[in-house]
Amino acid sequence: MKSVVVGSQWGDEGKGKVVDWLSERADVIVRFQGGHNAGHTLVIDGVTYKLSLLPSGVVRKGKTSIIGNGVVIDPWALLSEIEKVQKQGVEVSPDTLKIAENACLILPIHQKLDAASETLRGTNKIGTTGRGIGPAYEDKVGRRAIRVCDLADPASLKEKLTSLLAHHNAILSASGSEVMGLEDMFDALCEVAKRILPHATPVWRLLEQYRREGKRILFEGAQGIMLDVDYGTYPYVTSSNTLSGSASLGSGSGMHTIGYVLGITKAYTTRVGAGPFPSELADATGEKIGERGHEFGTVTGRKRRCGWFDAVLVKQAVTVGGITGIALTKLDVLDGFEELKICTGYTINGTRYDYLPAATELQALAQPVYETIEGWSESTRGARSWAELPAAAIKYIRRIEELIGCPVAMLSTSPNREDTILVRDPFLGV
């Protein structure tokens, strides 16, 4: 059985905890898109783990973690992350971590190009993490990328690296930036190859083997559907497809073998960086939500923008993402509010919309239409059953289900993995 976990908003929905919770039931955990711009925070037995490239299941013994071909990999960042979790007592070896041999690499020149591009945009910055993700994906579709398998053939690697640098150095030179040399980068890649190649394998074959053996496979997405390069708030998006369908493309696993799709959904809405955000609260209420929710990016540390729950966006994500059920997170952050609001539509130039249109200009003009619902004074933090939830909190949850057209399969009431209410098992569908 294969299940996929994706974010249904703009990322930062709490996927790390949910994936960790589910990984106890899984045998194999797969990352299938994005890079080290993603950040997942796990809290296990009082120990906090901050992961970017490594699948969340890596912290659990007896599990196989896989980085698929849809991920762009900064090998130095990966090795640094491995060393960090190893110091925390986590075993990471070629037996526990597999890397797709056809995954593309992020090189230092990609980070330089990323920073230069953001600078040239001036006030129109997209808000990238500056880690070279976009330029690496550009090289992938431009058919000049360096892949993991290339590290095994130094002669071919040098030839491909020469071609890649010729392309990018011309751009850097034209923009007045310092170009990058071949030999230093080649030597650095040859050195890192010794530690990366033992993990490399044809992941697609391995996943088919696991499927035939009846193993439970969990696919872990990064970012969120509203950051999808096609269906997100373009151009303020990430550089990959974040929908559940990417689990197949980014790992070599057939779509027909994937079952349940779980959409991680925060009980309110947040966003990092620039871009439209119709339900954003630029007031004391927004500040209060951010402070209570500790809304700072795992990777960048940037403060997240906060707002009321946007049912329009989540319903859109449910539709395009093929989401079967949602895991509602951070409900406890809303404890103590006398009333809550839910965005149920938009007005744009006097016209009512029940979806967010694709045009950037229209998105920027979207004004939220709110429905007000009663809040609750009791605490939901740490609740592990419906019986422990206030009636008003349950009413809020049920209204969200109605508006997005999708049931709540899981409910998270604190960062601790045990503080979870399971309604439907994503592996069993019941």
Active site members: 12, 40
CA distance 402 to 294: 28
Q: Which residues share a beta bridge with 305?
A: 271
**SS3 for 71?**
strand
Rounded Cα gap, residues 31 and 242, in angstroms: 11
Query: Are 286 and 307 a contacting pair, CB within 8 Å?
Result: yes
Integer Cα distance of 359 and 225 in angstroms:
17
Across the chain, which distance is largest between two alpha carbons, in Å?
67
Residue 92's closest CA among 103, 78, 104, 102?
Answer: 78
Sign of CA dihedral 131, 296, 381, 325: negative
Q: Which of 92, 98, 82 minimizes the C-alpha distance to 202?
A: 98
What is the rounded distance in angstroms from the CA atom of residue 27 to the CA atom of residue 13?
A: 24
Q: Where are the alpha helices (DSSP H) in 230-333?
A: 246-249, 284-292, 311-321
Residue 277 is classified by DSSP as -
Q: How far is it, in rounded angstroms, from Cα 156 to Cα 45?
A: 47
Going by the DSSP 8-state scheme, the letter that residue 280 receives in this structure is: B
**Is cis: bond before 235, omega within 30 of 0?**
yes
Structure tokens at 109: 């020149």
Strand 351-353 and strand 40-44: pairing? unpaired
Which residue in the block uniquely carries the two structure tokens 């990366």? 196
Q: Alpha-carbon distance 430 to 422, whole Å?
A: 10
Give the whole-angstrom CA distance, residue 111 versus residue 382: 41
- Which CA distances in Å does 386 have to 185, 298, 324? 56, 30, 21
* H or E element that contains 269: strand 269-271
